[in-house]
Amino acid sequence: MRRVPFREAVGSLMYCAVATRPDIVFAVGIVSQHLDNPGWAHWEAVKQIFRYLAGTKEWSLTYGMDWSGLEGFTDADGASQEHRHAISGHAMLIDGGAVSWSSKKQELVTLSTTEAEYVAATHAAKEAIWLRRLIEEIFRPLNSSDAFIFG
């Protein structure tokens, strides 16, 4: 594995995930946990992500023609990982296009899937409040019906 450009490949994938491709955030996060001691299975996972990107290179972030407001989606997986921390994520959309997204391990160990969902919803709500204030400051005030959080 010394001659395999694993770190460089993961760095390139991180740039894609942060800049334009929220659909690979979770997979890149998993492979990046093995930067210190990667194995061949991790290298195969990185190559699979690159194959996925090559197969979906025509995909793009799109924005709708009508104002649909700020929408948010959130989810958590419970404690399915061996570190027993739930993985939570959210995506914020404006006019149907993703403008903010996150997928990460929760800082605390939750005792139930419901509790993990609440933690994920809390982080998503904080992001939604920040985005709403930003939109109102730059563009126009939003109606109370213009912001949604879906679980």
Has residue 63 been placed in a domain?
Answer: no
- Could you read off the pLDDT of 117-150 as tens digits, one per residue? 998 999 999 999 899 888 888 877 766 555 555 5
Domain count, the chain: 2
- Could you read off the pLDDT of 59-110 as tens digits, one per residue? 776 666 666 778 889 988 876 666 678 888 898 888 777 788 888 888 888 8
- Could you read off the pLDDT of 8-19 as tens digits, one per residue? 999 999 999 888
Task: Give the residue numbers spanning the domain of 74.
Answer: 70-150
Whether residues 84 and 127 fall in one domain: yes
- pTM (whole model) above 0.85: no
**Continuous segment of H or E residues that includes residue 32:** helix 25-32
pLDDT-based confidence at residue 46 (cuts at 50, 70, 90): very high
- C-alpha to C-alpha distance for 73 and 117, rounded to whole angstroms: 12
Whether residues 22 and 94 fall in one domain: no
Whether residues 97 and 25 fall in one domain: no
Cβ proximity of 45 and 32 under 8 Å:
no
Whether residues 50 and 83 fall in one domain: no
Whether residues 16 and 81 fall in one domain: no
Whether residues 85 and 31 fall in one domain: no
